[in-house]
């Protein structure tokens, strides 16, 4: 089967940041491959290693996003598509979905694979949007994938248990990072990635309707998360402190 995995470069949530006058300031160099997308790439690699097929990746982002594509190629993907932006557009999930749907509409694939959400925004919208725009059967929040008789079998984490869903191809799936531990590229992979093809196209050359790309949701400002009041920490004789805290939960916190 042929997989195209949609991957995003996101700011490293561990990088120090600062909010100043409502603006978010952080080191623009600290960018990583979205963890959920890494799982999607991993699963596509595992399945194609087992059943044959190809894995390609597509990423919308500024010049620096090429590093993220390289990372996926180093993991084992065969080819990358880089849809280039200037980096200063205020795109949201809906803008990315419009661009991706337009880019993917003439591509050949069996499965479009997405992350279930972006690690930085946790929106979780793009995958479903692209499925609808391309009129594809889809499933979200996959925690396991299999291939059976040309169908993609998705185990999805739902509200009341796990749902086993059979998707005819072509189809779209969004992946949870709970389905695997993405491989860390080894040196051979890193070296091979340099010679793998990456096709680039600028969003501005794609003949898209600018108005349709406009974000429907706009972050107007950032604010710090309200701090929790400092708590009490108890160290010492286990029996004593355990009893003490239990009592405080009753008398002070009033939650028993």
Ligand X SMILES: Nc1ncnc2c1ncn2[C@@H]1O[C@H](COP(=O)(O)O)[C@@H](O)[C@H]1O
Assigned token pair, 143: 């925690």
Angstrom distance (rounded) from CA 2 to CA 108? 8
Which residues in the 112-171 window bind other proteins by CB under 8 A? 116, 119-133, 136-141, 143, 153, 156-168, 171
**Binding string, residues 136-175; x marks residues near ligand X by CB under 6 A:** ----------------------------------------
Q: Classify strands 79-84 and 198-202 as parallel, antiparallel or unpaired.
A: parallel
Q: Does 248 bind other proteins (CB under 8 A)?
A: yes
Q: Does 182 bind ligand X (CB under 6 A)?
A: no
Q: How many other CB atoms sit within 10 Å of the CB of residue 88?
A: 6
Q: How far apart are the first and last CA of the chain?
A: 55
Q: Which residue is nearest to ligand FAD (CB)?
A: 35
Q: Does 117 bind ligand FAD (CB under 6 A)?
A: no
Q: How many other CB atoms sit within 10 Å of the CB of residue 189?
A: 16
Binding residue for ligand FAD (CB under 6 A) from 19, 26, 35, 190? Answer: 35
Question: Which of ligand FAD, other proteins, ligand X, none does 139 bind, CB closer than 5 to 8 A by kind?
Answer: other proteins
Angstrom distance (rounded) from CA 31 to CA 137? 32
Question: Which of ligand X, ligand FAD, other proteins, none does 19 bind, CB closer than 5 to 8 A by kind?
Answer: other proteins
Q: Which of 110, 108, 116 is nearest to 143 (CA)?
A: 116
Q: Does 81 bind ligand X (CB under 6 A)?
A: no
Q: Does 3 bind ligand X (CB under 6 A)?
A: no
Judged by beta carbon, residue 127 or residue 185, the one nearer ligand X is 127
Which residues in the 83-102 window bind ligand X by CB under 6 A? 93, 96
Q: For residues 120, 180, 148 and 106, what is the CA-based torsion angle, rounded to 10 degrees? A: 30
């Amino acid at each position: 089967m042929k997989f195209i995995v949609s991957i995003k470069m996101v700011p490293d949530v561990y990088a120090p940041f600062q909010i100043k006058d409502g603006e978010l300031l952080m080191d623009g160099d600290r960018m990583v491959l979205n963890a959920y997308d890494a799982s999607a790439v991993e699963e596509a690699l595992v399945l194609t290693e087992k059943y044959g097929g190809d894995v390609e990746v597509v990423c919308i982002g500024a010049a620096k996003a090429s590093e993220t594509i390289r990372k996926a190629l180093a993991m084992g993907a065969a080819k990358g598509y880089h849809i280039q932006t200037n980096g200063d557009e205020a795109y949201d999930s809906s803008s990315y979905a419009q661009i991706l749907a337009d880019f993917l509409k003439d591509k050949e694939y069996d499965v479009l694979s997405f992350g279930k959400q972006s690690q930085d925004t946790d929106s979780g919208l793009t995958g479903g949007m692209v499925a609808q725009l391309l009129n594809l059967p889809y499933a979200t929040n996959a925690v396991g994938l299999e291939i059976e008789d040309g169908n993609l079998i998705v185990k999805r984490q739902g509200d009341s248990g796990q749902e086993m869903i059979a998707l005819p191809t072509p189809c779209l799936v969004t992946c949870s990072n709970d389905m695997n531990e993405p491989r860390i590229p080894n040196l051979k992979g890193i070296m091979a990635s340099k010679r793998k093809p990456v096709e680039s196209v600028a969003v501005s050359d794609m003949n898209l309707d600018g108005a349709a790309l406009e974000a429907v949701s706009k972050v107007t400002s950032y604010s710090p998360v309200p701090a929790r009041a400092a708590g009490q920490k108890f160290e010492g004789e286990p029996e004593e402190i355990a009893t003490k805290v239990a009592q405080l939960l009753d008398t002070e916190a009033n939650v028993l």
